[in-house]
Amino acid sequence: MDLNKYGFNDYFKNEFKQFEEKGMQPARVAMEEKGMYKLYTEVGEVTAKVSGKFQYEAISNEDFPAVGDFVAVSIRKNEMEATIHAVLKRKSCFTRKKNVAVDFEAQIFAANFDYVFIVTSLNHNFNLRRIERYLTMVWNTGGIPVLILSKADLCDNLSERLEEVQEIAMGVSVHAISSFEGIGIGEISRYLTEGKTAVVVGSSGVGKSTLLNKLAGEELMETSEIRENDSRGRHTTTHRELFIVPSGGIIIDTPGTRLIGIWDADTGVDEAFQDIEEFAKKCKFSNCEHKDEPGCAVRRAIEEGTIDEKRLESYLKLKKETRFMEAKQKRIIRIQQKNSAKSKGKGYKRDKRVNYGY
**CATH, residue 331:** 1.10.40.50
Which is more confidently placed, 70 or 257?
70
Residues 200 and 319 in one domain: no
Total count of domains within the chain: 3
DSSP state of 81: E
C-beta of residue 155 within 8 angstroms of C-beta of residue 123 = yes
SS3 of the chain: helix, strand, coil, percent, to 5: 35, 20, 40
Distance between the two ends of the chain, CA-based, in angstroms? Answer: 57
Cβ burial, residue 251 (10 Å; 0-12/13-18/19+): buried
Confidence (pLDDT) at 101: 45
Query: Which stretch of 247-251, 263-267, 302-306 has the lowest confidence by average pLDDT?
Result: 263-267
Domain limits for position 192: 93-253
Which amino acid is it at 166?
Answer: Q
Residues 120 and 52 in one domain: no
Residues 156 and 235 in one domain: yes
H-run or E-run covering 118: strand 115-121
Has residue 353 been placed in a domain? no
Domain C-terminal end among 33, 59, 87: 87
Residues 105 and 32 in one domain: no
d(CA 77, CA 48): 12
Residue partners of 91: CB distance under 8 A and separation at least 6: 11, 12, 111, 112, 142
d(CA 38, CA 241): 9
d(CA 125, CA 161): 12
Residues 212 and 246 in one domain: yes
- Asked whether the predicted pLDDT for residue 239 surpasses 60, the reply is no
d(CA 128, CA 142): 22
Residue 327 pLDDT class (50, 70, 90 cuts): low
Confidence (pLDDT) at 161: 92
- Asked whether the predicted pLDDT for residue 13 surpasses 70, the reply is yes
Query: Which stretch of 56-70, 163-177, 267-281 has the lowest confidence by average pLDDT?
Result: 267-281
Mean pLDDT comparison of 103-117, 205-219, 241-255, highest-scoring range: 241-255
Which amino acid is it at 243?
Answer: F
pTM: 0.73
Has residue 265 been placed in a domain? no
Confidence (pLDDT) at 326: 62
Question: pLDDT tens-digit profile of 24-60?
Answer: 999 999 999 888 999 999 999 999 999 999 999 998 8
DSSP state of 109: E
Residues 229 and 291 in one domain: no
- Asked whether the predicted pLDDT for residue 186 surpasses 60, the reply is yes
Has residue 34 been placed in a domain? yes
Instruction: Give the mean pLDDT of the chain.
Output: 81
Beta bridge partners of 147: 118, 174
Residues 83 and 97 in one domain: no
Residues 153 and 177 in one domain: yes
Question: pLDDT tens-digit profile of 287-302?
Answer: 888 888 888 988 888 8
Displacement of CA 53 from its chain's centroid (Å): 27
Residues 103 and 247 in one domain: yes
Q: Give the mean model confidence (pLDDT) for residues 158-167.
A: 91
